[in-house]
Amino acid sequence: MTAEKIDITSTELVSKKYRKRSAFVAIWNRLKKNKGAVLGLVILVLVTLLAIFAPVIYNYESDVIEQNVMNRLKPPSAEHWCGTDDLGRDILARIVFGARYSLAIGVVSVIISLIFGVTLGAAAGYVGGAFEDVIMRITDIFSSIPSILMAIAIVSALGKSTFNLMVAVGVSSTPTFVRVARAAVLSVRGEEYVESARAIGMRDWKIILVHILPNCVSQIIVQATLRVAQAIIASAGLSFLGLGVPAPAPEWGSMLSAGRAYIRNSSYLTIFPGLAIMITVLSLNLIGDGLRDAIDPKLKR
Amino acid sequence: MHRYIFKRLLMLIPVLLGVVFIIFFIMDLAPGDPVYMVAGDQATEEELDALREQLGLSGNIFTRYLRYVNNMLHGDFGTSFVTKRDVFKTYMERLPNTIRLASLAMIIAIVVSIPLGIIAAVHQNSLKDTASMVLSLLGLSMPNFWLGLLLILVFSLRLGWLPSGGYTGFRSIILPALTVASGLAALLTRTTRSSMLDVIRQDYLRTARSKGVTERKVINKHALCNALIPIITVFGIQFSNVLGGSALAETVFSWPGVGRLVVDAINQRDIPTVTGALVMTTMLVSIVNLAVDIVYAYVDPRIKAQYTK
Amino acid sequence: MSDNNYIFDIEGLNVRYETEDGTVYAVNGLDLKLGYKKTLGLVGETGAGKTTTALAMLRLVPSPPGVVECAKLEICGQDIRSLSAQELEEVRGKDISMIFQDPMTALNPVFRVVDQIAESLEIHEHLSHHDAQEKAKELLEMVGISRSRANEFAHQFSGGMKQRVVIAIALACNPKLIIADEPTTALDVTIQAQVLDLMKDLKEKHDTSMIMITHDLGIVAEVCDEVAVMYTGRIVEQGTLEDIFERTMHPYTEGLFNSLPNIADRQAMLKPIRGLMPDPTEQPKGCPFAPRCDYAGRECESEHPALRSVTDTHKVACSAYDRQPDFLLERRKAR
């Protein structure tokens, strides 16, 4: 009897895994055909490589942080491709190092909201009843506060630091993931393989982890990609308001904020960091859109 | 329908109470006792206690919360630590500016995005479609405060056509409104396009064509009326982001609105103003969302039928 | 204009859909004409190209992916091919109107039922809004729906009522030709009979010509004067109702009859047509029905049978009659 039980689960798992692998191959093949998504991937890989190898290209102390009044507000030239700021620091070097902050903040804040959002949403969708009601009402409450204002409040309460910025942006985008995860769980909860897992006495948390979440992963990945893009914009916005990464660290939003005073004569201080944000965010949006179309080709038009 | 509206208004109450609590909780995390900020360094311990009582800062978070809600119901959102003015009054002075900015931005977004989305859907996969999709993707990927800076750079500093900030009549609202509108317009263009593409395949459009309805009317009346339903939903969800986004635009353009009130208050650690402004802004968002839901029910008779039953 | 003995006259109609996955040949060299006040039954399996033919007549084939070629397309004495978009809109709903297959999706969910009927009246009869509404309510009553329900929406109606509304829309401007695309397929059997009776009555009252697209030979027997049997986008047999029912000549037509249950002899086995329709993305070299045909010889797989007249009214596309002039189907032998 027991042996039989195990057999059923294991064959089921194997077949599901097999199905998953071929599904991922199909998604990847469709994604490869999408020019926008490929462009996005290429840009994102380049930006990531720049972020990783920034210390190889530039010296953080001497190129990014050190003030050099002699080189103040130099327009773009062969020596300083994007010019220098009001403290004589090379803009390009700061942008390259800034990629580390933006990517890290974007990714970590989304991971924070993923952990909270997916856990709560999946639990709400799976358990249902009063528990679900409570979770969803709290989510409603959170999402009725404009997210950027909430992030502003959180950073100001916790104090300005890179980590607090991640927490603030993460908390303010948690409601999205609660909703996505709950909807995804609801859509597969009634499926037969979940019913049969329950029938053979599998633990609830294990059912969620093994049977339900893997089937919602694609939707969550799409949302996560798009949310990283949003988080980069939000964190740049907070830094722009002076609530983000503390000086002298080179964050793109705070570079824009600092450059604003010199916009009349040194507009490159405004143009280049903004371009960096836009290109990075654009690449993520392209990948997110491409993934969505690749995962559900019916939606592609 | 009236009963539905009434029910929705009732449901707003617990949400708003929750919002107040969350904001209260967040602001409570701030380190340091705000009473020192008001009293200054010279105050004695007795003076501080008296001041604490006076400012409503005594007691634990729950007693303060209940006191705040009670005052709120009487229209009292406290007094600013910094300006010593009534928070409600200050907010109401600023609100019309934000509403002006937000409404113009939303009008611009609608006027631009719906035709663009329709054209893209009708000429799917054409150059027009690709162009409007690229444009909206750029709009989505551009931080709006950066767009604001670029607009200032081009239209105020280089061309000298429009003022770069402050509130000086209609000309001064154009750039901030464009800034706030950009993200919304981009999102609505995409929504309109995909929603129209959905509707364009429906059989009832073929019925309309077979009746001899002109192609223009098939698209602008028969298709659009159906496509509007998801567009209105997105619009409602985005209202909150418009208000949030205007906080940044207001900072860029020194626009005397609610968003800048919050940002300034936070920089000055003016807790009553931050709390009051956030609570009132959230109320505004909730009421607008309710209004959107009602409009929704009027556009789609199927939904209206559910509510009136 | 040419001779006006026919309500419509189509020659050499080809329609194909060019999709990413290949070209679907939906209609292939179709010739069809019908006399005034007659009803033609267009019969065939799903995918035979019946609906596409109907859409092509109104120039409603979606393009892309649809590509329509036609040597002659005259309806009500007008050359439909040469009409401008505006002229075409004047013809649609006024001279020719169409009743669609699925009443569930054929009505616009966000407009009142009465407005959807009144719209054609406003367009074609140039009635004022008020008059059009009044006439629309009369039409609703004519199709058996109380005028008190005129201001409701489609979702408040049952399937049969929706189909009545669709019929009212099609009849609003007394068209000369109605194309009914499986008007009863989506309905319950009891409602089917009601709707058919209604259509027959209205047709007789208004002297309308009609194309009845269906796969149901029972309906054909009930309402049609002439019948055209379609297979893979071609007409394989065409004739009067008697020609087709009593003097069946094409093996495919016979197959359709054999698939029907026989009430008189319930012990008899049903004889479904074996196999499936060929892949519509491929153009067969020989007779497209040959792979499924019990009578097929080797020649059938290589030569394409033309549609030839047997009598004044009866046409068939089957090479068995070339090889063997006295060839008879089993169905005919049994009689």
- Name the interface residues of B facing C (CB cutoff 8 Å): 202-204, 206-215, 222, 225-226, 299-302, 305
Q: How many angstroms separate the CA atoms of A290 and A224, rounded?
A: 13
CB B126 within 8 A of CB B293: no
Q: How many angstroms separate the CA atoms of C289 and C44, rounded?
A: 12
C162 lies within 8 A of chain B by CB? no
Min mean pLDDT across A28-32, A113-117, C271-275 is at: C271-275
Q: Which of A144, A158, A270 is the closest to B285 by Cβ?
A: A144
Q: Is the residue at B305 inside a domain?
A: no
Q: Which of B203, B213, B226 is the closest to C110 by Cβ?
A: B226
For residues C89-118, average pLDDT? 88
Min mean pLDDT across A185-189, B34-38, B260-264, C168-172 is at: B34-38
Element (H, E) at A131: helix A129-144
Q: Is the residue at B36 inside a domain?
A: yes
What confidence score (pLDDT) does residue B14 get?
86
What confidence score (pLDDT) does residue C193 get?
82
The answer on B106 and B15 residing in a single domain is: no
Percentage of chain C exceeding pLDDT 70: 96
The answer on B262 and B124 residing in a single domain is: yes
- Tell whether omega for the bond before C251 is within 30 degrees of 0, i.e. cis: no
> If you count DSSP H runs as helices and E runs as strands, how many of each does chain A have, helices first?
13, 0
Query: Where does the pLDDT of residue A232 fall: very low under 50, low under 70, confident under 90, or very high at 90 and above?
Result: very high
Give the pLDDT confidence of C289-299 residue by residue, as tens digits: 888 888 877 77
- pLDDT beyond 70 at A16: no
Query: Where does the pLDDT of residue A7 fall: very low under 50, low under 70, confident under 90, or very high at 90 and above?
Result: very low
Give the pLDDT confidence of A234-258 residue by residue, as tens digits: 999 988 888 888 878 888 988 888 8
A264 lies within 8 A of chain B by CB? yes
- What's the gap between Cα B190 and its chain centre? 19
Give the pLDDT confidence of C223-262 residue by residue, as tens digits: 889 999 998 888 889 999 988 888 888 888 888 888 877 6
- pLDDT beyond 70 at C77: yes
What confidence score (pLDDT) does residue A15 get?
44
Q: Which residue has the higher pLDDT, A4 or A202?
A: A202
Q: At C2, is the secondary structure helix, strand, or coil?
A: coil
Query: Where does the pLDDT of residue A286 fall: very low under 50, low under 70, confident under 90, or very high at 90 and above?
Result: very high
Cβ contact, residue pair B240, A143, below 8 Å:
yes
The answer on B234 and B99 residing in a single domain is: yes
Element (H, E) at B164: none
Cβ contact, residue pair C107, B207, below 8 Å:
yes
Q: Is the residue at B277 inside a domain?
A: no
What confidence score (pLDDT) does residue C216 get?
84
For residues A179-190, average pLDDT? 82
- pLDDT beyond 80 at B69: yes
The answer on B52 and B150 residing in a single domain is: no
Which residues are CB-contacts of B46 (< 8 A; sequence separation ≥ 6)?
Answer: none
Q: Does A contact C via 3+ CB–CB distances below 8 Å?
A: no
For residues A271-298, average pLDDT? 87
The answer on B98 and B56 residing in a single domain is: no
Query: Rounded to 5 degrees, what angle do the CA atoms A43, A48, A50 make?
Result: 95
Residue of B24, B140, B151 best to disrupt the A interface, most CBs of A under 10 A: B140
What confidence score (pLDDT) does residue B36 get?
65
Choose one of B42, B73, B104: the last residue of a domain.
Answer: B73
The answer on B158 and B63 residing in a single domain is: no
CB pairs under 8 A between B and C: 81
Residue C239 pairs in a beta bridge with C227
Q: E strands of chain C, at which residues?
A: 6-19, 22-35, 39-43, 66-69, 72-75, 78-79, 96-99, 177-181, 209-214, 226-231, 234-240, 308-309, 315-316
**What is the value of ipTM here, to two decimals?**
0.85
Q: Is the residue at B42 inside a domain?
A: yes
Cβ contact, residue pair B19, A141, below 8 Å:
yes
Q: Which domain covers residue B20, as residue numbers?
A: 2-73
Query: Where does the pLDDT of residue C218 fall: very low under 50, low under 70, confident under 90, or very high at 90 and above?
Result: confident
The C-alpha of C152 sits at a distance from chain B's nearest C-alpha, in angstroms, of 9
Give the pLDDT confidence of B193-224 residue by residue, as tens digits: 989 988 888 889 988 988 888 888 899 899 99
For residues C275-290, average pLDDT? 81
What confidence score (pLDDT) does residue A294 get?
83
The answer on B189 and B132 residing in a single domain is: yes
Q: Are strands C234-240 and C226-231 parallel, antiparallel or unpaired?
A: antiparallel
What confidence score (pLDDT) does residue B31 get?
67
The answer on B259 and B173 residing in a single domain is: yes
Closest CA to A300 of B115, B237, B133: B133
The C-alpha of B204 sits at a distance from chain C's nearest C-alpha, in angstroms, of 4
CB pairs under 8 A between A and B: 140
Give the pLDDT confidence of B224-252 residue by residue, as tens digits: 988 888 888 888 888 888 888 888 889 88
Min mean pLDDT across B185-189, C57-61, C284-288 is at: C284-288
Q: Which residue has the higher pLDDT, A121 or C321?
A: A121
Q: Which residue has the higher pLDDT, A185 or B250?
A: B250
Residue of B204, B219, B296, B309 best to disrupt the C interface, most CBs of C under 10 A: B204
Q: How many angstroms separate the CA atoms of C189 and C192, rounded?
A: 5
The answer on B237 and B134 residing in a single domain is: yes
Query: Which residues in chain B are contacts of C89 at CB distance < 8 A?
Result: 212-215
Output the domain CATH number for residue B167. 1.10.3720.10
The C-alpha of A70 sits at a distance from chain B's nearest C-alpha, in angstroms, of 26
Q: What does pLDDT average to over chain A?
A: 81
What confidence score (pLDDT) does residue B308 get?
59
What confidence score (pLDDT) does residue A8 get?
42
Closest CA to C213 of C180, C186, C246, C243: C180
For residues A49-68, average pLDDT? 79
Give the pLDDT confidence of B118-164 residue by residue, as tens digits: 999 998 888 999 999 999 999 999 999 999 999 988 888 888 888 87
Q: Which of C107, C109, C123 is the closest to B302 by Cβ?
A: C109
What confidence score (pLDDT) does residue C2 get?
45
Query: Where does the pLDDT of residue B13 fall: very low under 50, low under 70, confident under 90, or very high at 90 and above?
Result: confident
CB A177 within 8 A of CB A114: yes
Residue C235 pairs in a beta bridge with C230
Q: Is the residue at B172 inside a domain?
A: yes
The answer on B247 and B129 residing in a single domain is: yes
What confidence score (pLDDT) does residue A285 get?
93
The answer on B56 and B102 residing in a single domain is: no
Q: Is the residue at B291 inside a domain?
A: no
Cβ contact, residue pair B225, C108, below 8 Å:
yes
Query: Which residues in chain B are contacts of C172 at CB distance < 8 A?
Result: 211
The answer on B52 and B100 residing in a single domain is: no
Q: Spell out a b/e string for A109-148, using b for 16 or more CB atoms within 10 Å of the CB, else e.
A: bbebbbebbbebbbbbbbeeeeebeebbebbbbbbbbbbb
Give the pLDDT confidence of A98-119 residue by residue, as tens digits: 898 899 999 999 999 999 998 9
Q: Is the residue at B288 inside a domain?
A: no
Choose one of B246, B267, B288: the last residue of a domain.
Answer: B267
Which residues are CB-contacts of A14 (< 8 A; sequence separation ≥ 6)?
Answer: none
Per the structure, the count of domains in chain B is: 2
What confidence score (pLDDT) does residue A298 get?
57
Query: Which residues in chain C are contacts of B214 at CB distance < 8 A?
Result: 86, 89
- pLDDT beyond 50 at A13: no
Neighbours of chain B (3+ CB pairs under 8 A): A, C
What confidence score (pLDDT) does residue B88 get?
92
Query: Where does the pLDDT of residue C332 fall: very low under 50, low under 70, confident under 90, or very high at 90 and above?
Result: confident
What confidence score (pLDDT) does residue B16 get?
85
What confidence score (pLDDT) does residue B33 get?
64
The C-alpha of C43 sits at a distance from chain B's nearest C-alpha, in angstroms, of 22
Q: Which letter does DSSP use for residue C326 in this model?
A: T
Choose one of B14, B41, B73: the last residue of a domain.
Answer: B73
Query: Where does the pLDDT of residue A185 fall: very low under 50, low under 70, confident under 90, or very high at 90 and above?
Result: confident
Q: Is the residue at B284 inside a domain?
A: no
Q: Are strands C209-214 and C22-35 parallel, antiparallel or unpaired?
A: unpaired
Q: Which of A144, A147, A154 is the closest to B26 by Cβ?
A: A154
Neighbours of chain C (3+ CB pairs under 8 A): B
Cβ contact, residue pair B203, C106, below 8 Å:
yes
Element (H, E) at A134: helix A129-144
Q: What does pLDDT average to over chain B?
A: 85
For residues C48-56, average pLDDT? 88
